[in-house]
Amino acid sequence: MEKRLLRKQVHVEGCEIFYWDGGSPREADPILFLHGWGVTAEPYRETLESLSQSYRVIAPDLPGFGDSGSTHADLTYADYARLFTRFLNQLGLERSHVIGHSLGGGIAVTLAVSEPSRISSLVLTDSTGVPTDSFIQTLLWRILVEMPAQILTTGPKVQYFVDVPQAFFQNLLFRAPNVAYALWLALETDLRPLLGKITAPTLLVWGENDLTTPLKSGQQFYQNIPEVELAVVAGAYHELSLALAEKFTPIVLKFLAKIENSSNQNLSVV
């Protein structure tokens, strides 16, 4: 696969945002990809490179994670949405398809509600937004059960054995307050009141065996978002979008193609 992504940076609201950028030169709205809690955009490179064969892809390290700076540790979903609105402004992008995984999904929901005219479509994969029954239990299940099970399911992929641990421990070592607060935000903030306000066509992609944001959470998203589709990936866990690019990417590309075709059919020639 041809590698199309380059590392770039831009100054937004007093901090430097580092991001991957590149992809297909064809005329189409780009993809803004927002990664999940505790890591950076780097572990998603296989997925990002695959998407970039068809679209321009922009994948930032979230403010306060990886190389990206942050003015304070306790950013809310609304803070993230405001930052990424200004990020898109800095890049001169009027509209984009937004893909969000886990914490990034919660940010994407908030962005879609606050800036509806700028969202061409929304893809939420194993998103946060429905509070967990037990914060500690969810964390323990993730560490002791889900992550080992994901490794057994996907095999010895570099994302799990190198990229994810490297990104996580870098954040934990240098950005511990950000990591801790973002975990609380991801698992405890209720975004369900926002779901009915989403106007963009939305695709939910969920791992059947997700223990962090379980499928029952995805079903609540499905019941409350007006224009929505749900794709459940058998045998997959929470890291579906980074560990199983070969399953995740075709689902997303099929959805985006349908959105593009629908938009083209609605254009009138005068």
Domain with 53 in it: what CATH number? Answer: 3.40.50.1820
Which structural domain, as residue segments, surrounds residue 170? 6-265
For residue 33, give the amino acid letter.
F
Q: How many whole angstroms separate alpha carbon 122 and alpha carbon 124?
A: 6
Task: Evaluate whether 168 touches 161 at the Cβ level (below 8 Å).
Answer: no
DSSP-derived letter for residue 207 is E
Six-digit token string for 248: 């995740």
Question: What is the predicted pLDDT for the residue at 269?
Answer: 40
Q: What is the pLDDT of residues 96-133, one digit of tens each?
A: 999 999 999 999 999 999 999 999 999 999 999 999 87
Write down the pTM of the prediction: 0.92
Q: Is 270 part of a structural domain of the chain?
A: no
Q: What is the pLDDT of residues 128-184, one digit of tens each?
A: 999 987 666 666 666 666 777 777 776 666 566 677 777 777 777 777 888 888 888
Q: Is 190 part of a structural domain of the chain?
A: yes
Question: What is the predicted pLDDT for the residue at 123?
Answer: 98
Distances (CA, A) of 215 to 18, 87, 151, 225, 259: 32, 31, 20, 15, 25
CB atoms within 10 A of CB 45: 19
Q: Is 141 part of a structural domain of the chain?
A: yes
Q: Which of 100, 157, 144, 153 is nearest to 126 (CA)?
A: 100
- Is the sign of the CA dihedral 68, 221, 187, 141 positive or negative? negative
Q: How many domains does the chain have?
A: 1
Is pLDDT larger for residue 134 or for residue 45? Answer: 45
